[in-house]
């Protein structure tokens, strides 16, 4: 995947405002307000305490801007780049009170999203030399869909569906409701526009054959063992994009990819990646 | 800690709406809409795929209610209770289309918050027999402060500050700005109301003495080794509540608690706890 | 296209609230409030003054519900069905004051969206016997994207892209920026996920050849004359979906479709379709 | 009518944000992002493809500003002025990516509102030499009330009621509820403030007499033929402002106005005026 | 003034939600949550501790409904009626926790708005036997315009302008900008619709003559002594509605009204009326 | 109390926007728009008509900034300082139309909040020489909690609880629910974090003894006579902070404070303080 362009701040500004508001509450930063004169200038550095892939920096810096509109910012490690442990990610200069009040919100955004990007980067790294893409799922943190998908892209992964509305993904429940794979695909094709792709989840090779016959553009190979995956890839060649999913972990991802699947998708990139350790070193 | 009362839905309804909206997008669940007749009734079970402490169930079920106001719900394992692997957490009955469209949002809420509660429960369990409390920090996921703090309480932990405004926490930057611990506390005391407690972060025993002398009600013992912690506890007895913090992990938490500190606080409960594996089994 | 399922009200509830609020202002319906006792029950019928395809009825009825939560509603001509001139579309029974206060908001929604659906239906009807689909564009009324796209679907059309994010559409500016069609497609392919289709706009057959060679999945044939369209369709057969666009009007749509293109897209379905004449007959 | 002052952006900023958000979705402009480097500067011109009265330009340009706060703008044909076919309306210079991402939102606003203003201007032009005013109604597009009323004013028309709350308009239902015109007016007068005018809708000359006797300040002459209108005007002279309404079309508006009515009101100015054809010519 | 109809809850629901949220914060009612079991039923009475005119009861009760959707409510003294000291205004029965958590929000709404209504009622009472109306101004509490104006109406007063947009009020600054009263009125008349009244503020009889000559429909007689007021009333008779304003207090209002002015307007009704003492007696 | 730092505008920006919107409505300031050319520059002074303590100036000036982002502002009497009658509080220079349109919103904010601050300052002044603090309550105006509490602080008072969530306040209902003071405190202690203080309301000395025995950190002495208060203070010394509350008025506050209580809390500071008379003198 190529490095993604920055998201328009309009997409995440509401979240950053809400995050600041839930930290400031009704009285603001009572500690800083008690000790720090209003006009005092301050300088601080966002620092990586551990090595990782940076994501969410733009959103994170917006937290400072929302509390001090004339804050001055120098980005050292932009979104999508790797920071070494101890490396300075960005320098901010502005009202000391704003820096301290925005600190935790900024770090929470940066740490969480860099955690997602770093987990993705590491998964991608395990597939070096293979053409297989690493994809996220819709198992994201509520309210953070756009930012977490973007973090996956910054980690070198591919976002998969952003929601229920941008592609068809026929699962077993849908097949049961339609009375068969072919009928489910037929209904989906008749229902959605010519720019919407159709993916079908299959558990067995028999289901795969049915899905391919029905014209699936992508097949989701769910919880298959490696041998079955290899055979599924063979049968799908030239007919559909193949995606492996289901309980794939860092240790097993390369073996899965070596079956030849086009995409490996992993829920834990977004729902369980640990936060990257980042800090704000204030030189108030 | 005693089991907390449910949060008023007013506190999190906005988040659940936004989470549904980011999944439904502009066109809704195009797959389900293609295959499932509007009026079709459905039944489903929220199931724990792994054992854990349930949290976020109320919020999770609100996702179904917002898509089908007359959905019928039976709760089997309420918030704050433990589910075994495979156990049914709740049964929902309503429009099949609403169940499928709300599924992912409901699971993302439930899995994430139960992950936080389970991590907390496990940390609390490690301290069995000790009076030490397990506390969260403000290192929470942006937008989820109230729900994650509540999940910590459901796990048996204590929430610590909800924001920058409900207690004073004097850190090194504040001390530097005020020109000393005593002056920082004096300013804080003069600035905040009579219902606001004052906590001071200290790195050394010398700083601790200064903080105690200044009248700190709580002292945050940051990154101290066990021997120093023990001594800090001794000096604080009868004078201030003691809280240990800084890089404490599951493996080390008991040893820290055995120094006699009143509270152990852990950022990873909220920023890095893995999601609990939960699923929706639909019997459409 | 098959008849679409209803949109979840969550998608448009905000719009209906805002529409009511902009009509009620700060003092509400001062005329009705002056003459009508609070508790008075009322009955009314939504009536089509002209024949047309109904759309927006669900949203329209929500206006009544938001002012009288216990209003009783009987739908006679549901969304996606045709009403004859004079036909009753729905009956509502509830507080007379709520009926009168919601009237204009309900009619504005219903008239506007039924206008879009009727225009689409009529365009589709002109293509009877042909496999060509009628598509909308992103030339929608600000704030009404989801509802207008849905109205197009209720008219038998297909929605095309819902936004800038759910498919790639490479236009001349993008080609210029990338330095060529092939490079633009290469970059797009490397940038977006495996569920995102790529469409390329072309003005000439030479550009078409380039687009097909670059692997376009859909080609937008912009402002071509019928002969060129026919040739473009011939060259694209088996390689890409073809879409004709650019100044196509009701009178010319069939001729365009007869060139064999798969899709004809029309901006005026959403930006210039006249409102359907609908009224509320109150039997207070 | 004199040319109106610009609306405060606070009135429509929310709409422009929502319009951008519904177009950007969760991933933004994926096509532009794939081909266009972040820092690339761009220049573009808003151009009228057809002649018309410009309206909504301020709102339209706000779309660019919201994506690029430092965009530079030169207005050539301001709101309320006429553009010839092919004429440049405004020049914008800023981030090429922002220009392309905001393009459709800006054009949708500008085209729709200029369509309303142009239809109004043309209706006003048909009444040249007559003192009759052209008024809009409350038949506006949901969410666009303030902007469409403003567009009507920019076209030379008068806005009529902005909502249910800023004037009394007694219709047949209200008369029925009150048990007569006189009683309806009496109740309205007792209910509203001294700055609120009272208009009464009448279908016949007998009703007109009743309304005038009751002290109506404005009479709405609904669906009367020209002879009746003339007589109604004669009877109202010096007693009430007269307004003709009901199915009046461009072809008939002058004849209606020549009866001597003070105001002619037309729903189609806002609910059915076709969009003005406008485009963005990018010189990226 | 006749008793006003209830405001649609849609107008104030946002305010009540925000008021609850600012009281509940992130953790809810921690006291009640600690002592009160979730399912416990409760009963409570809203009681007037002092005599007054009730206003805001509907909004106040909405606070309970938002925390307990199935709360049962019995209204004893509806909005617009007088409560004696000690009288029960309403009874609520529902979740004990919801009653306690909503208590302060409900009382703040009820006390504040009943204070406004009571002050208005008392001012109206002082004018008994006179035809003069008591009007509020735009000097309202930020965010409460609609509710405070409604409270004024419930007190028997008239609301005056709800905002800057529903009537013209030409003040000295406007006259200066236009270069004279006549020109200001001419511009206003050319700018606003036929349903908008024009009021002119005058300080002297000379200005009054100018305003009347210019066609003012209402004249605001600002800070005139009683003799001047009487003369102003005489000159305005049959030509314009007269409104006295400026520093009028309860003690002076009758003398002002006896000059014959049609309306007396008082800022303190909304900006300085003391709250009515109301309480919630819980029988948990 | 020391002078508080300014609140972050993020805390109140939403309120100021809503206040402007409720005044501008759908058509804006129709009077100014009719008479004042768009580009005209203007100058104005915010002036205190009566002497008082200034509060809400920052919020008030934001109203001008939101209508004219490049307005230039000079603050003469900042928040928390005293203005003499006739003194200029601030000078604003910008678009004349923006100044006039924002005038009322700015004054309503400034007058209301300065009224609260002035009432607080006066109460504090009555306690000169005594160590007693003057506290507000949660009896605030809906939607204005944060700003009114801040105004109390600017008046020299202390804010008390900001909401139901930042401290425990056990009242009689809670005691009844828990079955006794001791049990209520025990439950509260087990339920809330180590940074939350516990206050208990008592009516009698017997209850006070119980509360002190139960470990209350603050005792609220409700409606006690002076002798009882004195005895309560004596019993509480060294054990709990004492707060007197209940019907305390300006005339009685000093006598209450002289009993030795630490805090006196007064609802009328926020629910019944009259507005400070402020005006905008425009030199357009």
The torsion of the CA quartet F17, F21, F22, F25, rounded to 10 degrees, works out to 180
Give the chain A residue nearest F9 (alpha carbons). A67
Give the chain D residue nearest E154 (alpha carbons). D191
Tell me which chain A residues have a C-beta less than 8 angstroms from the C-beta of F138. none
Give the chain F residue nearest D143 (alpha carbons). F26
**Mean pLDDT for the stretch of residues C55-74:** 97
- The backbone torsions φ and ψ at residue C113, rounded to the nearest 5 degrees and listed phi first, read -75, -35
What local confidence, expressed as pLDDT, does residue E283 receive? 83
**How far apart (Å, rounded) are the C-alpha atoms in residues B46 and B62?**
13
Q: Give B56→chain D minimum CA distance, Å.
A: 25
- What's the complex ipTM? 0.96
What local confidence, expressed as pLDDT, does residue A284 receive? 59
> Which residue in D186, D191, D190 sits closest to D200, CA to CA?
D186
Cα–Cα distances (Å) from D201 to B60, B179, D65, D169, in that order, read 52, 76, 44, 7
**Set E91, E171, E189, E230: catalytic member:** E171
Q: How many CB pairs under 8 A join A and C?
A: 72
**Mean pLDDT for the stretch of residues F230-242:** 97
Q: Which two tokens stand for residue E48?
A: 């007037």
Residue with tokens 């009328």: F268
Of the CA atoms within 13 Å of residue C67, those in its CB half-sphere come to 32
Q: CB distance D10–F67 less than 8 Å? A: yes
**How far apart (Å, rounded) are the C-alpha atoms in residues D84 and D77?**
10
**Mean pLDDT for the stretch of residues F47-73:** 98
* Planar angle of CA E219, E220, E222, nearest 5 degrees: 140
Contacting subunits of A (3+ beta carbon pairs below 8 A):
B, C, D, E, F
Q: CB distance B194–F158 less than 8 Å? A: yes
Q: Cβ(E257)–Cβ(E132) under 8 Å? A: yes
The count of residues in chain A is 284
Give the chain B residue nearest E18 (alpha carbons). B10
Q: Give E62→chain D minimum CA distance, Å.
A: 23
Does residue A256 carry a pLDDT above 80?
A: yes
Q: How confident is the model at residue A246 (pLDDT cuts 50, 70, 90)?
A: very high
> Who wins on pLDDT, D57 or F173?
D57
For C122-149, write each residue's pLDDT tens digit: 999 999 999 999 999 999 999 999 999 9
Q: CB distance A25–E25 less than 8 Å? A: yes
Establish whether E197 is a catalytic residue. Answer: no
**Residue D259 CB partners (closer than 8 Å, separation 6+):** D226, D229, D230, D233, D244
Does residue A39 carry a pLDDT above 90?
A: no
> Which residue in F97, F44, F52 sits closest to F72, CA to CA?
F44
Q: List the single best residue of F26, F94, F102 to mutate versus D (max D Cβ within 10 A).
A: F26
Q: Which two tokens stand for residue D51?
A: 């002649």
- Please state which of the ranges B94-98, C176-180, E206-210 shows the lowest mean pLDDT: C176-180
- Please state which of the ranges B23-32, C136-145, C243-252, D55-64 shows the lowest mean pLDDT: C243-252
Residue with tokens 């709580």: B218
For A195-228, write each residue's pLDDT tens digit: 999 999 999 999 999 999 999 999 999 999 999 9
Q: Which two tokens stand for residue A181?
A: 């794979």
What local confidence, expressed as pLDDT, does residue E247 receive? 85
**Mean pLDDT for the stretch of residues E219-232:** 97
**How far apart (Å, rounded) are the C-alpha atoms in residues D7 and C10?**
30
Q: CB distance F26–D146 less than 8 Å? A: yes
Sheet holding E218-222, edge to edge: E133-135, E263-265, E241-245, E218-222, E198-202, E168-170
CB-neighbour burial class of residue F89 (10 A; exposed 0-12, middle 13-18, buried 19+): buried
**Mean pLDDT for the stretch of residues F93-119:** 98
| Average pLDDT of chain A, as a whole number | 96
Establish whether B139 is a catalytic residue. Answer: yes
Does residue C65 carry a pLDDT above 70?
A: yes
Helix (H, G, I), strand (E, B) or coil at B17: helix
**How far apart (Å, rounded) are the C-alpha atoms in residues B106 and A139?**
10
What local confidence, expressed as pLDDT, does residue D283 receive? 83
**Mean pLDDT for the stretch of residues D251-265:** 97
Does residue A283 carry a pLDDT above 90?
A: no
> Which residue in F34, E15, E11 sits closest to D163, CA to CA?
E11
**Set A43, A91, A104, A138: catalytic member:** A104
| Average pLDDT of chain E, as a whole number | 96
Q: CB distance A146–D26 less than 8 Å? A: yes
Q: Which two tokens stand for residue E128?
A: 């008994």
**Residue B26 CB partners (closer than 8 Å, separation 6+):** A165, C11, C145, C146, C149, C162, C163, D22, D25
Q: CB distance D7–F20 less than 8 Å? A: no
What local confidence, expressed as pLDDT, does residue B1 receive? 67
**Mean pLDDT for the stretch of residues E168-172:** 95
Establish whether D171 is a catalytic residue. Answer: yes
Establish whether A171 is a catalytic residue. Answer: yes
Residue with tokens 């097909």: C212
Cα–Cα distances (Å) from F100 to B142, D234, E159, F67, in that order, read 39, 42, 21, 10
* Planar angle of CA E24, E25, E31, nearest 5 degrees: 55
> Which residue in F162, F178, E104 sits closest to A28, CA to CA?
F162
Q: Cβ(C47)–Cβ(C22) under 8 Å? A: no
> Which residue in E6, D140, F228, E35 sits closest to C33, CA to CA?
E6
| Average pLDDT of chain D, as a whole number | 96
* Planar angle of CA D154, C104, D125, nearest 5 degrees: 25
Does residue A1 carry a pLDDT above 70?
A: no
**Mean pLDDT for the stretch of residues C164-193:** 93
pLDDT above 70 as % of chain C: 99
Q: How confident is the model at residue A127 (pLDDT cuts 50, 70, 90)?
A: very high
Choose the closest CB to F195 out of B1, B187, B199.
B199
Q: Give A2→chain E minimum CA distance, Å.
A: 41
Residue with tokens 């006259």: E175
Q: Which two tokens stand for residue F92?
A: 């604003």
For C193-205, write each residue's pLDDT tens digit: 999 999 999 999 9
For D218-227, write each residue's pLDDT tens digit: 999 999 999 9
Q: Give D18→chain B minimum CA distance, Å.
A: 12
Of the CA atoms within 13 Å of residue E111, those in its CB half-sphere come to 27
Contacting subunits of C (3+ beta carbon pairs below 8 A):
A, B, D, E, F
Output DSSP code: residue A240: -
Q: Cβ(C88)–Cβ(C47) under 8 Å? A: yes
String of DSSP letters for F100-128: HHHHHHHHHHHHHHHHHHHHHHHHHHHTT
Does residue A121 carry a pLDDT above 90?
A: yes
| Average pLDDT of chain C, as a whole number | 96
Q: Which residues of chain B fall below pLDDT 70?
A: 1, 284
Task: Provide the b/e sequence for D247-279 (b: ≥16 CB within 10 Å).
Answer: ebeeeebbebbebbbbbbbbbbbbbbbbbbbbb
Establish whether D277 is a catalytic residue. Answer: no
Sheet holding C133-135, edge to edge: C133-135, C263-265, C241-245, C218-222, C198-202, C168-170
**Residue E51 CB partners (closer than 8 Å, separation 6+):** E82, E83, E84, E85
**How far apart (Å, rounded) are the C-alpha atoms in residues D113 and D157?**
13
Choose the closest CB to A5 out of D25, D26, D33.
D33
Q: Give C13→chain F minimum CA distance, Å.
A: 20
Q: CB distance A27–F162 less than 8 Å? A: yes
Contacting subunits of B (3+ beta carbon pairs below 8 A):
A, C, D, E, F
């Amino acid at each position: 995947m190529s490095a993604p362009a920055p998201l328009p701040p309009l997409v995440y500004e509401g979240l950053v405002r809400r995050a600041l508001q839930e930290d400031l509450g009704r009285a603001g930063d009572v500690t800083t307000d008690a000790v720090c004169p209003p006009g005092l200038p301050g300088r601080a550095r966002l620092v990586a305490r551990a090595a990782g892939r940076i994501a969410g920096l733009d959103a994170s810096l917006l937290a400072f801007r929302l509390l001090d509109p004339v804050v001055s910012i120098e980005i050292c490690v932009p979104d999508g780049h790797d920071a070494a442990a101890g490396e300075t990610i960005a320098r901010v200069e502005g009202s000391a009170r704003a820096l301290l009040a925005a600190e935790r919100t900024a770090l929470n955004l940066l740490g969480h999203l860099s955690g997602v990007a770093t987990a993705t980067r590491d998964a991608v790294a395990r597939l070096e030399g293979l053409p297989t893409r690493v994809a996220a799922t819709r198992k994201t943190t509520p309210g953070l869909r756009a930012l977490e998908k973007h973090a996956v892209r910054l980690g070198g992964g591919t976002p998969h569906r952003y929601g229920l509305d941008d592609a068809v993904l026929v699962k077993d429940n849908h097949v049961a409701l339609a009375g068969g794979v072919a009928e489910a695909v037929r209904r989906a094709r008749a229902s959605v526009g010519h720019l919407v792709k159709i993916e079908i989840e299959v558990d067995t090779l028999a289901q795969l054959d049915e899905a391919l016959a029905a014209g699936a553009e992508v097949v989701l190979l769910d919880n298959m063992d490696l041998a079955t995956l290899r055979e599924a890839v063979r049968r799908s060649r030239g007919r559909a994009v193949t995606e492996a999913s289901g309980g794939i972990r860092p240790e097993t991802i390369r073996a899965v990819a070596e079956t030849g699947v086009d995409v490996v998708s992993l829920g834990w990139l977004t729902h369980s990646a640990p936060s990257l350790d980042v800090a704000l070193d204030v030189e108030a």
